[in-house]
Chains A and B, each alone.
Chain A
């Protein structure tokens, strides 16, 4: 029962359907907003792929760019989830 396919697939990132940035236009993607970006970064500091985060192509691109900018100016880590906060 606990090991049905759905449970296993859902275990890791709390997968959500749909792009949250499309659903809520108030949400802005900003490279300075580390708290939002952290959600799209794995424990290792890797960018979470679109198929897992559920972002649409446009917003995934913006997230990727924002994460890379944040890494560049030492707001986010390249290798772990450590941030300035």
Chain B
């Protein structure tokens, strides 16, 4: 299981009930695949720095979830199919998500490289 972070931009015309329904739909897609949603932030409608599908505004949603890689594949497929989604990006969080501190701890990723030197000398007389 891995922690992922997904941001998607929803068409700005979609608001109110439609928006809530859409968000619920994508949360349900994750829930159906036994993904655990850690955090869901709605950033609201913002002006985009460049045109995305001829739109200069978009509603940003950030979702963090814990799941396997197949779940991401399906989730992105569904995002791609939906016309209301302008753009999306999913990123793997290698160190997981620390919600209590609201900041990721980078000290977590220490790996110990165990060097095993197995030298087998065979003496042939």
Contacts and interface: CB of A to CB of B under 8 A. Distances in A.
Interface size class of B (residues with CB under 8 A): 10 to 19
A73 B9 contact: yes
Contact of A84 (B49, B62, B103): B49
Contacts of A74: 9, 48-50, 52, 58, 86-87
B70 interface: no
B104 interface: yes
Nearest to B7: A73
A82 interface: yes
Given A28-B103, A28-B104, A28-B106, A72 B89 contact: yes
B46 interface: yes
B104 A84 contact: no
Contact of A77 (B49, B86, B103, B106): B49
Interface size class of A (residues with CB under 8 A): 10 to 19
Contacts of B52: 74
B87 A79 contact: no
A80 interface: yes
Contact of A73 (B47, B89, B104): B89
A28 B87 CA distance: 25
Interface of B: 7, 9, 46-50, 52, 58, 60, 62, 86-89, 91, 103-104, 106
Which 7 pairs between the two chains have the least Cβ-Cβ distance?
Answer: A77-B49, A73-B89, A82-B49, A84-B46, A74-B48, A73-B7, A77-B50
Interface of A: 28, 30-32, 69, 72-80, 82-85
15 contacts: A28-B106, A30-B104, A31-B91, A32-B62, A72-B89, A73-B7, A73-B87, A74-B49, A77-B49, A77-B50, A80-B49, A83-B49, A84-B48, A84-B49, A84-B60
